[in-house]
Amino acid sequence: MKSRRYLGLAGLIAVFVVLADQLSKIEVRANISVGERVEVIGPLEFTHTHNDGVAFGMASGGGIVVILLSLGALVALGAFLAHAPRSRSVWIASGLILGGAVGNLVDRINQGYVTDFVLLPHWPAFNVADSAITVGAIMMMVDVLFLDREDRHANQAG
């Protein structure tokens, strides 16, 4: 029963991420010309760029290969979730990663590229989906490397 609640939590987070990602990209496409930069605050700027590769423009021009890789990553995440520990942080992280992956996949299928718009100095442009994937991956690594180890030690001692 608890895993069903965690699955629901992951699904809710994923839906929120997809909505936030797609709505922010709609606003950027409607209000910022491709290549234009808009100062936001301090070093933060918004821009409008198209990324037809994967993270940070790698594998640019990959087309259908990038879409297939994205679908493969979603299948791998699903397989992981089937055997995921009952840790709330793993399920939250999974929801963030799933939502981010779906958000960018929607762009790739509909447009052939991903809209990126957040720009920081010395860093490639990114979007809400990329941020969710990054935060989710960090949470997952922390859980698997540190928290899961503590749980195993507690179970061995008990």
* Distance between CA atoms of residues 139 and 143, nearest Å: 6
Question: pLDDT at position 54, please?
Answer: 59
Q: Report the distance separating Cα 115 and Cα 99, nearest Å.
A: 16
Check residue 155 and give its pLDDT.
Answer: 47
In degrees and rounded to multiples of 5, residue 82 shows phi and psi of -60, -25
| C-beta separation of 69 from 56 below 8 A | no
- Which sequence positions are flagged as catalytic? 116, 130
- Over residues 6-57, the pLDDT tens digits come to 778 888 999 999 999 999 999 999 999 999 999 999 999 999 999 876 555 5
* φ, ψ for residue 54, nearest 5 deg: -105, -150
Output the pLDDT for position 156. 46
